[in-house]
Amino acid sequence: MDNKKKVPVNTITRDIKNLAAPTGNIYESVVILYKRANQISMAEKKELMRKLEEFRNDHDTMDEVFENKEQIEISQYYERQPKPDLIAIAEFENGDLFYRKAQSENPIDINKGE
């Protein structure tokens, strides 16, 4: 995710009209952003869990738990990263996010009934 360098770490105010412009509907834009942020979040979580798995010890008890400096550094690195929703918004605004609408082959006409 090389876009992280371009993404602000803090939330900034955005014009809703600019977010709605690509789809023509703010609600569609929000759904797209939500789904992309969820994808990013899940990918980061898997990556973090994979890295932290190296430090896992099945024989630890509460008395034997100690702080591992490398583990703390890895956790702090992920805490400093931009939040997934900010990354998704940056991708959306830069045109790096691709989406498509699912089309139903047989749309249901609510006036006719089923």
Domain ranges of the chain: 1-8+36-57+64-99
Residue 22 neighbours by CB under 8 Å, 6+ apart: 29, 92
Whole-structure pTM over 0.75, yes or no? no
Residue 107 neighbours by CB under 8 Å, 6+ apart: none
Comparing 17-21, 91-95, 105-109, the range with the smallest average pLDDT is 105-109
Q: What is the percent of the chain with per-residue pLDDT over 90, rounded to a whole number?
A: 27
Residue showing tokens 């992280």: 4
Position 113 confidence tier, pLDDT thresholds 50, 70, 90: very low
Q: What is the pLDDT of residue 64?
A: 47
For 28-73, the pLDDT digits (tens) are 999 999 999 999 999 999 998 888 887 776 655 554 455 677 888 8
Query: Coil, helix or strand for 74?
Result: helix
